[in-house]
Amino acid sequence: MKKLTKTLLTLFVLLGLNAPAVGQFITLDWKLHEVGQVIQIVTNEGRYNQLGTTYDGLINTRFPPNTFQEHTGGVGWYIGGINQDGDTLVTTPYIPAFGAAGELQGYSGAPWDSVYKVMRGDTMDIGDPDNPYITNYVAGSDEDIITRYNDYNQANINNPQHEPMYIDVIQRSWAWASEPMDQFIIFNIDIIPQREPLRDVWLGAMINANVGRRTGSGFTFSNDDYATYHHEHKMAIGHDAEGGPDGGKYSPIGMKLMPPDEYRGKEISEDHWDWTWRWSGVSREDNQAHYEQMILEQIQEDQVNPTGTSWIHTFGEIDSLSVGDTLSWRFGLVLGKDEAEVMEKSELIERLLPDFDVPSPPPSPGVTITPTNRTVNISWGKDAEDYVDPDRSDSVKKPFEGYRVYKSTQSVNGPWTLLAEYDIKGNQYGQNTGLQNEFTDTGLMNNVDYYYTVTAFSKPDTVLNFPSQESSQRANAVTVTPGTSAPDDVGQVAVVPNPYRGDIDYNAMDPPWEKPPITRERWLEQDRKIQFINLPAQSTIKIYTLSGRLVETLHHDDATKGFENWNLTSNVNQAVASGIYLFTVKNEETGNVQTGKFVVIK
């Protein structure tokens, strides 16, 4: 019922109708962190999983980006404390039970009350254009995601499991495009009590560390995971065991907590904090039981049996939070190919705290793509050449060094092949090839998708001993389909491949002739493809059996490409059988018709 209520209220907003009360309803919004090696979904409910969003895919925490290796089933942070009436309260966006409602949601259904993405070098007002809650926001990383929510929205109050603490939350998450910072995401949480003070406050986070290759909508791949704890890093790590439902062993994920180092202008030492970590016996019976789990001040032994894992990790305490005060703390999701690399990234985070002021990459070049017959021309702008980086220590005013051109035959997430590198001549960096702003790729297959991206990279900072920084490969990646333009009339229409053969693995070709969408890993029957080529700009294709029964009708309306794909599925959504098929193609502008035939062999 609650889900239906939320949907109806979102509809009020979309239709421009008046909602019954301000702040009563929200529109769920989300954005992806995607500039680095970790692809992470972020919502305005304070939870970090794609369940409940409109995202058409399976991404929660994917690493590396060109794989289907997931690392979480859900992540959310906790706050527990006692109000002025002596009530023990806990609020979290992620209750450890599948299907359980969270307790934090956005403010309203207003279109501006959403999730914002701000890239390096951009400045933006966040929130209501007439009264933003952050003015002139400047990105603190290569890709910031900002949102706000609270625990007293009417939808939260209607949750029978929840008693509000009346807190506002502003959340900023940071991601980086280039090594060595492209394998972690930092979440900055600002908590502001609105109605009543809180005392004996504990904070923390919970994670379902579902590590492995996710190939469907379920979570059986996570049934062989286990967890370990690392005291010196205040970090727990989720691992995938050898074998099990998903076969191999995949990269672990670390969740690292970073308590505030000051509050109300006073410094807080590291030894102030007590810590709790538990991977078993965690439940949400009531607020009192949950709070008692948070404040145990015990670190459980490492998990031995790989039976799947989730845990809570908390720290405390803050003696009191006053109304209007802001308490700021952080946690990070840290990825690596193995435990040693996760630990290495954790140490880097500790060195970069609190501001993460490090050299940044040039802005992504603006790319223009021109596909023609078996050829793709790529050109890009020169704005990156003039960027200024205030966080360098080597006094280089304009640290731009060059461009790299990449190509993939698989997806906009790669894997990428370097086609060309152009850098400034006459210095000690790079290849000294000289700068160019154009590249032409030839010898391509027509009517097949290719993927290209252009990055800009900097000189290394020799004083900081910090490596060259490169803009995100994903930021301006484009899908390109070379081919001939649409002919003036029918006459040369053909079908490829003809015959279509079921014993050929078209998905294994490079580039693949057939492939699943980017949100799905496995090839399915509906991914079969034949192609009608040399089509006029506006034409209608009709496909028949030899007996004359209409199988499917395709409408082509595109002046820039002369082809149309068909997935060998009929107009009643059934896969077609082996046989000889007839087709007609009518040019809707001239009325001329061409007939032909093709063969399907399964």
Written in H, E and C, the secondary structure of 540-570 is EEEEEECCCCEEEEEEEECCCCCEEEECCEC
Q: Is the pLDDT of residue 12 over 80?
A: no
Residue 224's pLDDT is what? 92
**Residue (of 449, 456, 455, 452) closest to 477 by Cα position:** 452
Q: Name which of 23-27, 341-345, 491-495 the model is least confident about.
A: 23-27
- Separation between Cα atoms, residue 375 and residue 264, nearest integer Å: 62
Q: Which of 232, 229, 234, 253 is nearest to 301 (CA)?
A: 229
Cα 462 from Cα 468, distance rounded (Å): 10
At residue 370, φ and ψ (nearest 5 deg) are: -125, 105
180 pLDDT above the threshold of 90: yes
Distance between CA atoms of 114 and 53, rounded to whole angstroms? 13
Query: Once rounded to an integer, what is the mean pLDDT over residues 402-414?
Result: 95
Residue 333: half-sphere exposure toward Cβ, Cα within 13 Å: 33
pLDDT at 21 over 80: no
Span of 5-14, 143-152, 187-196, 412-421 with lowest mean pLDDT? 5-14
Burial grade of 308 (CB within 10 A; 0-12, 13-18, 19 or more): buried
Q: What is the pLDDT of residues 103-139, one digit of tens each?
A: 888 888 888 989 999 999 899 999 999 999 999 999 9
Range name among 13-22, 469-478, 514-523, 573-582 with the lowest pLDDT average: 13-22
CA 289, CA 298: separation in Å to the nearest integer? 15
3-state secondary structure of 114: coil
392 pLDDT more than 90 = yes
Nearest to 108 by CA among 231, 198, 26, 49: 26
What average pLDDT does this structure show over 371-392?
95
**pLDDT surpassing 70 at residue 23:** no
pLDDT band at 205 (very low <50, low <70, confident <90, very high): very high
Domains with residue ranges and CATH for the chain: 32-103+177-352 (2.70.98), 367-480 (2.60.40.10), 494-601 (2.60.40.4070)
The residue-averaged pLDDT of 293-314 equals 95
pLDDT class of 284 with cuts at 50, 70, 90: low
Task: List Cβ neighbours of 265 (8 Å cut-off, separation of 6 or more).
Answer: none
Categorize the per-residue pLDDT at 54 as very low, low, confident or very high, splitting at 50, 70 and 90.
Answer: confident
- pTM of the prediction? 0.88
> Averaged over 479-500, what is the pLDDT?
96
- How high is the pLDDT of residue 311? 95
Q: Which helix (H) or strand (E) holds 407?
A: strand 400-408
Task: Say how far apart CA 268 and CA 481 lie, in whole Å.
Answer: 57
At residue 531, does pLDDT exceed 80?
Answer: yes
Q: What is the pLDDT of residue 286?
A: 83
Q: Is the pLDDT of residue 522 over 90?
A: no
> What confidence tens digit (pLDDT) does each residue in 471-489 have?
999 999 999 999 998 999 9
Q: Over 50: is that where the pLDDT of 5 sits?
A: no
**Taking a C-beta distance cutoff of 8 angstroms, is the pair 256, 334 a contact?**
yes
* Structure token digits, residue 283: 């439940």
